[in-house]
């Protein structure tokens, strides 16, 4: 996304991302072997892609990358990710349309990660079928917690205990 001249949000976001990348540890010992997922990251911002790719790989996940809406649809169809993290403002096809098309194809969690914070934007995300609408800039720890909660759905039927 392009910001108007004089608007320093992009610079601040880039600095925050680079600081976060530099602070990351080489591995997370708290990730269990079976907790890894295949995650598709769709964003046209290289800094965001680099940050999310590094963080998610350190968490033990396999990462797929797409830089525009059309590439996202191709990656989703061929890679069958367990989760899609999707920017709204994309070249070729916007994130809302990508989300609609993915959700029409299969039930995979889609998180929209965007600078668009207006109520109408959030409602549009819901209408497109997004499981969540997270705002940039974001705190990595909170982002990872939210991803974990979305990617591990609760069982629809509670386990039953039989009496002996």
In CATH, what number is assigned to the domain containing residue 66? 3.40.50.2300
Residue 120 lies in a domain: yes
Residue 3 lies in a domain: no
Domain that holds residue 110: 33-150
pLDDT of residue 106: 95
Residue 18 lies in a domain: no
pLDDT of residue 162: 37
pLDDT of residue 150: 81
Residue 142 lies in a domain: yes
pLDDT of residue 3: 54
Residue 83 lies in a domain: yes
Q: Helix, strand, or coil here: 51?
A: helix
Helices (H) and strands (E) in the chain, counts: 6, 5
Burial of 23 (0-12, 13-18, 19+ CB in 10 A): exposed
Residue 14 lies in a domain: no
pTM for this entry: 0.75
Task: Tell me the angle at which helices 95-105 and 69-79 cross, rounded to the nearest 10 degrees.
Answer: 20
Residue 12 lies in a domain: no
Are the beta carbons of 46 and 73 closer than 8 angstroms? no
Contacts of 74 (CB under 8 A, 6+ apart): 66
Burial of 115 (0-12, 13-18, 19+ CB in 10 A): middle
Domain total in the chain: 1
pLDDT average per 10 residues of sequence, the chain (164 residues): 60 60 46 73 95 94 97 96 96 96 96 92 95 91 88 44 39
Residue 133 lies in a domain: yes
């Amino acid at each position: 996304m392009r910001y108007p001249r004089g608007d320093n949000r992009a610079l601040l976001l880039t600095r925050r991302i680079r600081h976060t990348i530099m602070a990351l540890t080489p591995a997370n010992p708290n990730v269990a072997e079976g907790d890894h997922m295949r995650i598709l990251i769709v964003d046209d911002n290289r800094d965001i892609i680099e940050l999310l790719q590094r963080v998610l790989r350190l968490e033990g996940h396999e990462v797929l990358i797409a830089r525009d809406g059309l590439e996202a649809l191709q990656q989703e169809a061929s890679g069958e990710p367990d989760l899609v993290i999707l920017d709204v403002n994309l070249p070729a096809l916007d994130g809302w349309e990508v989300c609609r098309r993915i959700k029409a194809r299969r039930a995979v969690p889609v998180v929209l990660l965007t600078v668009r914070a207006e109520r109408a934007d959030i409602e549009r995300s819901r209408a497109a079928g997004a499981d969540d609408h997270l705002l940039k800039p974001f705190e990595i720890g909170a982002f990872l917690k939210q991803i974990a909660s979305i990617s591990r759905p609760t069982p629809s039927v509670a386990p039953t205990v039989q009496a002996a």
